[in-house]
Amino acid sequence: MKHIVTIVALAFIITSCGNDKKQSVEDIISTNNLEKIREKKNQLDDQQQLISSQLKLLDAKIKALDPVEKIPLVTTFLAKEIVFNHYIELQGNVSTKQNLIIYPQFSGVLTQVLVKEGQTVSKGQLLAKIDDGGLSQQLAQLQIQADLAKTTFERQERLWNQKIGSEIQYLQAKSSYDAQSRAINQLKEQIDKTQVRAPFSGTIDDVITDQGSVVAPGQSPLFRIVNLNDMYIETDVPERYISDITSGKEVLVEFPILGKSLNSKVRQAGNFINPANRTFKIEVAVPNHNKEIKPNLTAKLKINDYTNKAAYLIPQSIISENAEGLQYVYTITNKNENKGTAKQAFVITGKTQGDFIEILSGLSHEDEIINEGARSIKDGQEIKILVLDNNN
């Protein structure tokens, strides 16, 4: 009865418009008659609403009569075992154990600077000289006295070996010679301190004090010397990873500023937990053959802390959770060509990596898992498979 009333109403509207059928919308607009224009608009609005409601009724009836229209459309993929490597991401700074500011060991005027910035030097190479304040002259005088003491001792020793002379004369000569030798050695050590030498091989990064300046031990920095061969990254790791991140673990090192990455390993893992932040320190060796990597450069570390050689990985977006907090996905059963039945499969999840999550239990090899459309279906519902993605 409801459908008959609707059809009659539609016929009435169409009939009522018949009188104006000869007049188009443009003709009515051209009359500039506000009442006629409003009347025409109302007629068209009524027609639009009625047609829209009729289309909805027709769509509903089609879905009720055609079973194919009721079946949800989904995409699926097959569960496959793969090697799953999980990584912890950290940040650290590049350091070198051979990055040193050289200070003088002697007070005086810096008479010579023998190197310049950027120069490569070898261990023990002379870098600068400091005025010795007359110590060289003192050494020359002591050397003369020492030579005399040596000659006297050697003669007295020969006589003593021949049982000539007294023992006291021999001992006095020996004591005098030993004292002179020690004095010369001490003075030479003092003079050696006036020569500034490289403590290790590297590059002079900065010449801090100019020639002619007065310098003093521990107060006047002279040079900064850096060796870029033995580089490493030091960072703090949360204590929960202390059993997973150990010496020898593989690390992917990325340098965002350089747009470069390299593979390395953890060369040292600390045994002390910092009570302030509950972390321990690790060192990652950094090969630096082309000298591009500099101290204090920021680096990102991806450390392999967990590996599962037979893991199932699925998108996190398809996992649902019921009222009891149990997680589940939908798999396909009773498959016939491109149709099947959705089955709820409860799973236990593990670690995540990006948009994917590890499934520890609940899935078997070659299970067909619903991907797109998983959120809009129910357990036991018939579904239609659009795409089976074997590369997921």
For the chain, the average pLDDT equals 84
Residues pairing with 356 in the sheet: 315, 353
244 phi/psi in degrees, rounded to 5:
-95, -35
Write the pLDDT tens digit of every residue in 134-163.
888 888 888 888 888 888 888 888 887 887
Give the pLDDT confidence score for residue 45 in this predicted structure.
86
Write the pLDDT tens digit of every residue in 88-124.
999 999 988 888 899 999 999 999 999 999 898 999 9
d(CA 87, CA 284): 15
Helices 135-161 and 167-192: crossing angle in degrees, nearest 10, is 150
E strand residue ranges, 239-297: 250-255, 260-269, 279-286
User: What does the buried/exposed string (b/e) look like for 103-120 if buried means 16 or more CB atoms within 10 Å of the residue's CB?
Assistant: bbbbbbebeebebeeeee
Give the pLDDT confidence score for residue 9 in this predicted structure.
45
- Burial of residue 304 (number of CB atoms within 10 Å: 0-12, 13-18, 19+): middle
**How do beta strands 120-121 and 223-226 pair?**
unpaired
Give the pLDDT confidence score for residue 42 in this predicted structure.
87
Which stretches of the chain drop beneath a pLDDT of 50?
1-21
Give the pLDDT confidence score for residue 349 in this predicted structure.
92
Q: Name, in order, each residue with C-beta under 8 angstroms of 242's C-beta and a sequence gap of 6 or more.
A: 269, 273, 280
